[in-house]
Amino acid sequence: MSAETALPQVERSVPRGAVLVAIPLAFALLGVLLRLAAYFEAGQEPTLSKFVDGLCKWDCVWYLRLATSGYDTFPPPTMIDAGNWAFFPLYPFIVGGVHALVQLPVMAVATALSFLLSSAAALVAWPLLERNLRAYTLYCAFLLCGPFSFYFTTFYTEAVFVLLTNCIMLALRRSSYVTAGALGGLLSASRLVGVFIAFSVALQYFFDYRKQGGALRGLPGQLWRQPEIVLAVLLTPLGLFAYMAYLHWQMGDALAFGHVQRAWGRLSGSPLAYLWEGIITWPKSGFWPSNTQWLALAAIGGLFATAILAVRRQYPMALFCFVALLLPMSAGLASMLRFVVALSPLVLLATSFLASWRATYVVALLAIVAGDYFFTVGWLEEWLPLV
């Protein structure tokens, strides 16, 4: 679809910017209504006042306490035999800061911020999707009214992670390496795998350098004369390093975010071994895949989409997605579905593909919207692959 046909006749009467803003807002409203219906269907307390809190499950509870009480000392005072050091600080501290300013309930603040960040992520994705209105519509629906929208509209880090990833991709497309590095510093403060965006920044710079006719032997001299890429790469891990420094000061263990994983039974091992174990763990009854098989299928789907990125020569983002999948897989398959759907390059790839034909676009849009209701019911009923 060409840029000229990306926005059809509606653009003649309505400004393009208004259309681009209206689409995520419409899906945000529809998503709230669908999740509210699912909330009542799942047998939750049938009051609107409890709806926002009712969607806060699993890791959301940890983020909620982190935003209000900060990080645990050692030994941890409450909850299970683990501290909250596994959860990176950027988004909880943003929510906690806004909460302190406005004095509204934390979940209300977190939900509003997640809606804003996810909508902003969709707007940033517009040029990344080559200004294709169908792909943009699917992407907005996926974030705000899709089967996994509770990750992007409650108190989870997915909203800020996706927004930062999209901003970095856009910065690299415009050869703004220092901007990408600075955003990478924030990304590494939101989730451990964010630090590996440094490889993508460096790789994109190398490809741009070669595209401009630069020779390999001239690269060291180029870096000496224009060291912006060096600065960009050095900026990327600053969020992680700041968190490590804090953990060392707080409890004497800069790597507590990794060591605490043992409390959840996540032990380092071979990603392939964990993947194979997940595939062969058959259900005890019935024909549906077991919980572990669903997680294995999510990992396989993510790796397959990553391979397509590589085939399409989108090597920097393919490398980032590959590492972002392989690292958590080295500790097991837990949360793999959530990790896959939070990798924006993969979702952008999928929405662009589905938008290529009118029939697949319509079917995908209907499936995405319907999935919001059914998967929210599964979320509220604690379907384990969604955790």
The DSSP string of 88-117 is -SHHHHHHHHHHHHH---HHHHHHHHHHHH
Establish if 281 belongs to a structural domain: no
Q: What is the pLDDT of residue 267?
A: 80
Q: Which value, in Å, is the radius of gyration of the alpha carbons in the chain? A: 21
Report the pLDDT averaged over residues 153-172: 97
Question: Which of 122 and 224 is assigned the larger pLDDT?
Answer: 122
Establish if 117 belongs to a structural domain: yes
Instruction: Assign 375 a pLDDT band (cuts: 50, 70, 90).
Output: very high
Cα(15)–Cα(21) distance, rounded to whole angstroms? 10
pLDDT digits (tens, 9 = 90+) for 126-156: 999 999 999 999 999 999 999 999 999 999 9
List the end-to-end C-alpha distance of the chain, in Å, as a whole number. Answer: 37
Instruction: Assign 81 a pLDDT band (cuts: 50, 70, 90).
Output: low
Please give the tally of structural domains in the chain: 1
- Is the pLDDT assigned to residue 11 strictly greater than 60? no
DSSP state, residue 194: G
- Is the pLDDT assigned to residue 327 strictly greater than 50? yes
Establish if 318 belongs to a structural domain: no
pLDDT digits (tens, 9 = 90+) for 206-227: 999 999 988 888 888 888 888 9
Report the pLDDT averaged over residues 84-88: 91
Question: Which of 23 and 76 is assigned the larger pLDDT?
Answer: 23
Q: What is the pLDDT of residue 168?
A: 98
Q: What is the pLDDT of residue 73?
A: 80
The answer to which of 68-72, 237-241, 340-344 has the lowest mean pLDDT is: 68-72
Q: What is the pLDDT of residue 8?
A: 53
Q: What is the pLDDT of residue 180?
A: 98
Q: What is the pLDDT of residue 4?
A: 40
Q: What percent of the chain has pLDDT over 90?
A: 75
- Is the pLDDT assigned to residue 51 strictly greater than 60? yes
Q: What is the pLDDT of residue 79?
A: 54
Q: What is the pLDDT of residue 74?
A: 74
Phi, psi values for residue 131, rounded to 5°: 55, 40
Report the pLDDT averaged over residues 224-231: 91
329: closest CA among 384, 383, 281, 267? 267
Establish if 308 belongs to a structural domain: no
DSSP state, residue 145: H
Cα(68)–Cα(77) distance, rounded to whole angstroms? 15
- Is the pLDDT assigned to residue 201 strictly greater than 70? yes
121: closest CA among 139, 96, 109, 145? 139
Question: Which of 216 and 233 is assigned the larger pLDDT?
Answer: 233
- Is the pLDDT assigned to residue 3 strictly greater than 70? no
Report the pLDDT averaged over residues 99-122: 96
Establish if 21 belongs to a structural domain: yes
Report the pLDDT averaged over residues 178-191: 97
Residue 201 near residue 184, CB atoms below 8 Å: yes
Number of H-type helices and E-type strands within the chain: 21, 0
- State the residue range of the domain holding 65: 3-268+358-386
Establish if 136 belongs to a structural domain: yes
The answer to which of 5-19, 217-231, 282-296 has the lowest mean pLDDT is: 5-19
Establish if 110 belongs to a structural domain: yes
3-class DSSP assignment, residue 207: helix
Residue 384 burial (C-beta neighbours within 10 Å; 0-12, 13-18, 19+): middle
- Is the pLDDT assigned to residue 158 strictly greater than 90? yes
pLDDT digits (tens, 9 = 90+) for 245-289: 999 998 889 998 988 887 777 788 899 999 999 999 998 887 889
Report the pLDDT averaged over residues 176-186: 98
Cα(208)–Cα(149) distance, rounded to whole angstroms? 35
User: Average pLDDT of the chain?
Assistant: 91
Residue 139 near residue 28, CB atoms below 8 Å: no
Q: What is the largest CA-CA distance in the chain?
A: 68
- Is the pLDDT assigned to residue 5 strictly greater than 50? no
- Is the pLDDT assigned to residue 14 strictly greater than 80? no
DSSP state, residue 355: T
Q: What is the pLDDT of residue 41?
A: 86
Cα(344)–Cα(125) distance, rounded to whole angstroms? 9
Alpha helix stretches (DSSP H) within 6-89: 10-13, 16-41, 51-54, 59-69
Report the pLDDT averaged over residues 276-303: 92
Establish if 161 belongs to a structural domain: yes
Report the pLDDT averaged over residues 19-39: 96
* Residue 288 CB partners (closer than 8 Å, separation 6+): none
